[in-house]
Amino acid sequence: MDNMKLKDIEMFWKSVLHSQYFPSKENNSCWWDVTEQEKLEKIVRHLSDPNTKERKKIREILVKNDIYSVLDAGCGVGTELESYKSHNMDIEYVGMEKSNRMLEIAKTRHPYNKFVYGDVNEMPFPDNSFEAVILKHVLEHLPDYRSAVNEAVRVASKIVIIDFFHKLWPFDFRKRHREGFWENWYSKRKFEKFITDLPVSNYEVFTTTGTSRQTAEIYVLHKERFI
């Protein structure tokens, strides 16, 4: 496996263990179900760090492509928005999330920004509604990524940014996590074959370091040919 970090292998095996030995435990609580306010705030602050390498790269991509309107699809509690606010970026931001608990937290933290209920597999927006659609750490947790990516391409007028928390691998590894969500590792070859069949002119790939020191990969799908 090319350019594989020890941390990538470690995280992969943790996924294997969590999936293999606890396949039926689907009611375990996740971090956003934490009721202790101080603990929840600490987690959200950590996840909202605007200075991670992934977020720096996303900001660079938005500036390079003259993006002023963004749909953050699967926005969680609005952690991506912190990145734009902290750097005073002129971005018309809309966050979309299907977890009511996450939407509640996002709206409380950012009362002057727009957050809507919606599913990444069936986005409640017309074609070309936003210059950019962002799918950050989302596709890994879906049973299948195809419909979400198709929807993102439909709703975006310029680019789709896909930030994979995990490095793409030579093979697919799809397993349901012990806490009830999916934790997938996707085949790079299959994913790139899929996106070349989409109505996009080209794509770029950026490799960076993720929040757990793992390899993160960011794909930028262009609907308009760039110079």
Give the residue numbers spanning the domain of 174: 6-222
> What's residue 27's pLDDT?
43
Instruction: Judge whether 190 and 213 are in contact, CB under 8 Å.
Output: no
Q: Is residue 137 part of a domain?
A: yes
Ordered alpha helix ranges (H), the chain: 6-21, 37-47, 53-64, 79-86, 100-109, 146-155, 188-196
Q: Is residue 227 part of a domain?
A: no
Q: Is residue 135 part of a domain?
A: yes
- Give CA–CA dist 71/160, Å, rounded: 10
- Give CA–CA dist 59/176, Å, rounded: 32
- pLDDT tens digit string along 183-219? 788 999 999 999 999 999 999 999 988 776 778 899 9
Mean pLDDT of the chain: 84
In terms of pTM, does the model score above 0.75? yes
What average pLDDT score do residues 57-84 get? 96
* Sole residue written with tokens 């990538």: 8
Instruction: Judge whether 200 and 174 are in contact, CB under 8 Å.
Output: no
- Give CA–CA dist 75/85, Å, rounded: 15
- What type of residue sits at position 147? S
Q: Is the dihedral of CA 5, 215, 213, 102 positive or negative?
A: negative
Number of domains in the chain: 1
Q: Is residue 1 part of a domain?
A: no
- pLDDT tens digit string along 93-128? 999 999 898 899 999 999 999 999 999 999 999 999
- What type of residue sits at position 223? K
Q: What is the CATH number of the domain that holds 31?
A: 3.40.50.150
Q: Is residue 168 part of a domain?
A: yes
> What's residue 36's pLDDT?
67
Q: Is residue 183 part of a domain?
A: yes
